[in-house]
Amino acid sequence: MKRLLPASLFGRMMLVLSIGLILAQLLSASINFAERDRAVLRNSGMQSAQRIADVVKLLDSMPHQERLRIAKVLSVPPQVVELEPSPVKTTAAAMRSAQTMMFSQALHSALGDERPLIVSASANPSEANGFSDMHRRPLPGMASMAAYMSGMTQASRSSMQAFMAEKLGFLIQVQLHDGSWVAFTTQLHQGAQAPPWHLLLTLLVLLASVLFLSFVAVRWMTRPLAVLASAAESLGEDIHRPPLPEAGPAEVRRAAHAFNTMQAQLIRFITDRTRIFSAMSHDLKTPITRMRLRAELLDDDDVRARFEKDLLEMEQMVKYTLDFMRGLDQPQHIQPIDIMSLLESLQADAEEMGREVQIQGRTNKPFVGDPARIKRCLANLLDNAVLYGERALIVVDDSATSLTLRIQDQGPGIPEEELEKVFEPFHRLEASRSRQTGGTGLGLGIARDIARAAGGRLTLQNRRDGGMEAILELPHSPA
């Protein structure tokens, strides 16, 4: 179920609103159609009951022979009138449906008395008005109906059958004042008619209009969230990005103001932290310089060399710590970078120091980013590879969407549980704490921060044939 849900808040709100509106429209349409069908059936029954009552009153006022003549004149399908000495007994007479009860009440009301009458209904009026199998003798009016329909053309007969099939057949038997009976066969609309197209069109237009307005409203409400999410993502790349405009509804203004306040606090925190470490670095340089001068006065060459090495390590630690604290708080200078030229420059620098660095593959186009930061990231990775892995191989894989650089070495690798810990500041493996290869433990952390600021990522993995591989993935900016 979760996989079927849209991923965005906008999509989920539109899905909920659409389903709710469609269900509401369907329920409303069903209620309207049912009410319309009941109204049609009620009106049709009242009209038929009034016509039958008028005929009954007319026949009551005439002698028997005159009744026969008038009954023949009024017997025009779909309403057939027949005079009977006694009521026709049918199994349908016992049917007490809502339609028969409604029609009986309407007929009593139209007659104005409670004379005996029998109302029977059939759900299949197309077969001789639906009572051909319910009579012990032919139904009154069946012969007239058959004769009437036999004189029609085939098209007219089909139309009449279709008309009758859409209606509910009734047999109404009413006792006259002299004790004789008059039987009527007629049809009423069943109510379940096809919905009118104009009503369906109206419902569709209403549904489309409400969905469009919902789309506009939901988009309007969720757009500030998208802007806020985009700003939060770009904040990691550039802490000095322009603040969000504090405009719109009150909630949006509050969220934008809170975001801008948070950004200002972060900038202030980073600036204060950088200032403190800059002051510490400056203050530490003086005693380190004095200690170096005093070390020069030592007579023991071995002791003097160890002092100088320790002092050099302290200077490097201060420098790298300061770079780590203030390196990523400066605005980026984005421009196209020739990655191959940058790699060849780093390769030349490494070879001057007696280190072996090889390059495999080429880029297809310039990479857009901050040249100084990218160079620093790659330099840290190369230093880590040649210091602990003797030599380095840079594999370049440039695609349409991203640039991937793999820095491989021939070293002993890193235990699997340490692959993430080495990115933490000042974290060093025991094997790297020798005086020949000891570092500050900041290089990989700085490299990963630079990769993340560029929208990419940096991961480490051990190679199957030995050594370690640093994978730097940098996305290309959209054209």
- The pLDDT tens digits of the residues spanning 152-164 come to 445 444 444 444 4
Query: How much is the pTM?
Result: 0.46
pLDDT band at residue 195 using 50, 70 and 90 as cut-offs? low
Q: For residue 120, report the phi and psi dihedrals to the nearest 5 degrees.
A: -125, 145
CATH number of 333-475, picked from 3.40.50.300, 3.30.460.80, 3.30.565.10, 3.30.43.10? 3.30.565.10
Mean pLDDT of 458-478: 88
Q: Return the pLDDT at 74.
A: 83
Q: Return the pLDDT at 40.
A: 57
Residue 265 has pLDDT above 80, yes or no: yes
Residue 424 has pLDDT above 80, yes or no: no
Alpha helices in 61-119 (DSSP H): 64-74, 98-111
For residues 396 and 234, which has the higher predicted lDDT (pLDDT)?
396
% of residues, the chain, pLDDT over 90: 10
**C-alpha distances out from residue 21 to 112, 140, 206, 209, 287, Å:** 49, 53, 10, 11, 77
If phi over 0 gives left and psi between -120 and 50 gives alpha, with beta otherwise, what is residue 81?
beta
Mean pLDDT of 310-322: 74
The domain segmentation of the chain, as residue ranges, is 26-189, 238-331, 333-475
Q: Return the pLDDT at 403.
A: 93
The CATH architecture of the domain made up of 238-331 is Orthogonal Bundle (1.10)
Q: What per-residue string of b and e applies to 31-51 under the rule 16 or more CB within 10 Å gives b?
A: eebeeeeeebbeebbbebbee
Instruction: Quickly count: other Cβ atoms within 10 Å of residue 320's Cβ.
Output: 21
Quote the CA–CA distance of 445 and 190 in Å, as a whole number.
Answer: 81
Residue 479 has pLDDT above 60, yes or no: no
Comparing 193-197, 267-271, 432-436, the range with the smallest average pLDDT is: 432-436
Q: Return the pLDDT at 236.
A: 67
pLDDT digits (tens, 9 = 90+) for 51-67: 888 888 888 888 877 88
Q: What per-residue string of b and e applies to 153-175 under the rule 16 or more CB within 10 Å gives b?
A: eeeeeeebeeebeebbbbbbbbb
Q: Return the pLDDT at 340.
A: 93
pLDDT band at residue 131 using 50, 70 and 90 as cut-offs? very low
**C-alpha distances out from residue 404 to 328, 334, 356, 394, Å:** 22, 19, 21, 10
pLDDT digits (tens, 9 = 90+) for 43-101: 666 777 888 888 888 888 888 778 888 888 888 777 788 888 888 776 544 345 666 77
Per-range mean pLDDT, top range of 142-156, 302-316, 416-430: 302-316
Residue 27 has pLDDT above 50, yes or no: yes
| Sign of the Cα pseudo-torsion (19, 24, 29, 34, in order) | positive
Mean pLDDT of 7-17: 75
pLDDT band at residue 321 using 50, 70 and 90 as cut-offs? low
Q: What is the mean pLDDT of the chain?
A: 76
pLDDT band at residue 184 using 50, 70 and 90 as cut-offs? confident
